[in-house]
Homo-oligomer: A and B are copies of this chain.
């Protein structure tokens, strides 16, 4: 894709300049003021009249979803009710209670020159987020950005547009009531790809792009953005069962890692089992009973007849199923498991279940992923579970942040250097 039309470029530049302007005010705002805005927002999300309005707008999106014959899982994600509004409000309150990352001193020392150096966190700037379906992302990411003193431009999916506009309007009201610029959080209502392209070229006005969604969206962003991208890409997560692992632990952890919520990125897609593990058949039967749909190589199919055939291993082992399918592969060693993970994994989450400390150490040292799990479920790869609170997403990139992206990662740093006339010799 080449250039965006002049009209779209002007629209993106206008939004970028407004966000930049809001950022300068946010940057100097107090923590108390930003938290105040979030508490007003939380209260508003729980008020009857606000909810009635949101539900009416949400109905429009749901009606369109039905008319367009959207998948039931997507329709479910889209639907807002009193419970979900309450959950959103709770998430916002939780964010308001986080410690403020802004101003945190990362290091400080007196240099040889006598200059006192302090490195401290400051807000990152203007964040452009592109996401799909779930309307709560509008509130979550907006709240994380305001918390950390950043301005945000949110570009949600077409299928949730009415709901997103309604939620955004509540958000802006809360900002204004707290004395912060309404344009701290902006929404893009035109979902044309060409407009997105225009935004991705605004590297003078926007500091960070966060795409959350399918592969095509992420690919488009990475290929076209002139702005740094923190991507939240596929989770092709793998779990390796070593020969001596405890059966009860194995069945419980594998079932959890695959089935507790198969549609998320930290659920596993591939199960690697050591050839010498004595309970493979029992494990596979157990997983099937709990709802897994098993696919596998010839060896695993010979072990248990309930395993379906993988026709194209190179494609399927690299696939993020996002449902109950689980691909099985028998391996002869930790090294073979590691090779498989290098070949097919997406660097998100890998696990080893073993009682052999030496095998565990080799596995942990060899795989190169955002998180490695030893004798526990990959489902713990989550900002909330890892004690960071709400997250912008799970970064599969290697720069700036890898793993859960929390408010800390919505900051950059500045050095303050204080002297008494020192010059460089």
Contacts and interface: CB of A to CB of B under 8 A. Distances in A.
Interface of A: 24, 27-28, 109, 111-113, 115, 117, 119, 122, 124-125, 203, 207-208, 222-223, 226, 228-230, 246, 248-249, 252-253, 255-257, 260, 342, 364-366, 368-377, 379-382, 385-387, 397-400, 402-403, 412-424
A222 B226 contact: yes
Contacts of A226: 222-223
B28 A420 contact: no
B402 A399 contact: no
Q: Which of A24, A248, A257, A368 has the most CB of B within 10 A?
A: A368
A94 to B, nearest CB: 14
A258 to B, nearest CB: 11
Given A380-B424, A397-B228, A423-B252, A417 B368 contact: no
Nearest to A403: B415
A374 B421 contact: no
A140 B218 CA distance: 34
Max count, chain B CB within 10 A of own CB: residue among A364, A412, A424: A424
A122 B368 CA distance: 9
Contact of A399 (B113, B260, B381, B400): B400
Contacts of A228: 228-229, 397-400
Contacts of A420: 249, 375-376
A360 B422 CA distance: 17
Number of copies of this protein chain within its complex: 2
A366 B369 CA distance: 39
A413 B421 contact: no
A253 B237 CA distance: 56
B423 A374 contact: no
A413 B405 CA distance: 13
Given A113-B385, A399-B399, A399-B400, A376 B412 contact: no
A28 B375 contact: no
A252 B421 contact: yes
A28 B122 contact: no
Given A422-B376, A423-B253, A370 B208 contact: no
A36 B125 CA distance: 42
Task: Rank and list the top 6 A-B pairs by shortest CB-CB distance, nearest first.
Answer: A376-B419, A256-B423, A379-B424, A371-B415, A249-B421, A400-B400
A386 B111 contact: yes
22 contacts: A24-B368, A28-B365, A111-B387, A117-B387, A122-B368, A124-B399, A208-B399, A230-B399, A252-B423, A370-B414, A370-B415, A373-B419, A374-B417, A376-B417, A376-B422, A376-B423, A379-B423, A386-B415, A399-B399, A399-B400, A402-B412, A402-B413
B376 A418 contact: yes
A111 B230 CA distance: 26
Contact of A372 (B253, B385, B387, B415): B415
